[in-house]
Structure 1
């Protein structure tokens, strides 16, 4: 029985050398779920699942550092497995339109079976809930639950009380901690810092916190320390290739 999440990418905006932008691969008793596919995540997904088989994809929003490699996955399916079953895709409005701009002569729905977020869906073994979180474009925070275990992921977000409910008692709460200079002073907030990530994870009562979406060049150790001071529980930094067990088999690989 394998229940785990593996980091495909951890950078915000653009990838640092040797890294990728936002993306996570969830293995749950043989079911394969992807959360976001930003720049450079597809090759890492294929390294993790060499056969390229994916059961469902969830994309939080249309910014390319979260969705652009969805286009590569489309091409792999469209040209490499023509006529295969459509792949369930859960995403807010705007994602498919953004990717369609890269492939205007083909209907992406030939490959993807699209379901709207925010909203609630049964996705394989998971009860999936997508909630609206503040960002520059429509963004869905994601919560997936199965067998009493919850995994929550913010995508990108500004501060909001919704975060406490999104991550309520989650086994693992993956929270963006961009720590972009000047963000805290903006009149309208659309991103978080690591201190805030720790605060919201504590308010949610999450069991563990993983920080992600690091602004390139930032000190990740300092981000973890800042979040740890507020959260009090286990805090990790998303690192490409890092695997974290879900449920009772907690641990890091």
Structure 2
């Protein structure tokens, strides 16, 4: 015989499991509805119901959810030739957002283009030049956001500006600095083959924030998040001074190399 705690757990858990299963089923059916529209073009509720073996009421329910998510949109059906009497039937078509949810060949196209640049226009340095030019074109909006923020809020301002471009970025505190985390990378698959894209992005972050930054992880390299470390001003100045001292020591050593001690 089950005790009271076990009985309560069962009573509470069963509806949750049923709800989760129902949500998975809804998502699966909505994907089928969207896929049918992709395969057959703008479709009426009746046509979708017939193709998918669903009731029209069920199709309307899923279409309402897809419209709410900006995956499909309703429009009047185009009529070619003489119009019949009455209002044209309403059809549902995929939005640009909805099309992007399905597999596209943009990554392959971009990788092929960069490979062509490397082969015809000067090797990997030509790819690096393209990557820097691409980021420079995007950097204007990022710079405006950073310059409008207080110094201590500039990393957060950059994160928000990156999020507008689809990088889902956040900023968080870290020992002696901050971390800029990009939870999504629109060019990750291409950057796997051409790391110059990540390198150019790191250079731009450094220029925008006016300090040396360090890339700790990238999605293109297989990490879960692109993470960039941004030191606090005092630590950045210290690191810069150490670098300058090392360079001076190296120069002095080189200039006295081979001399006999006095």
Superposed pair shares fold, TM > 0.5? no
- State the structure with bigger RCO (CA 8 A, min sep 6), 1 or 2: 1
With normalisation by structure 2, the TM-score equals 0.24
Higher strand proportion: 1
Larger radius of gyration: 2
With normalisation by structure 1, the TM-score equals 0.25
Higher helix proportion: 2
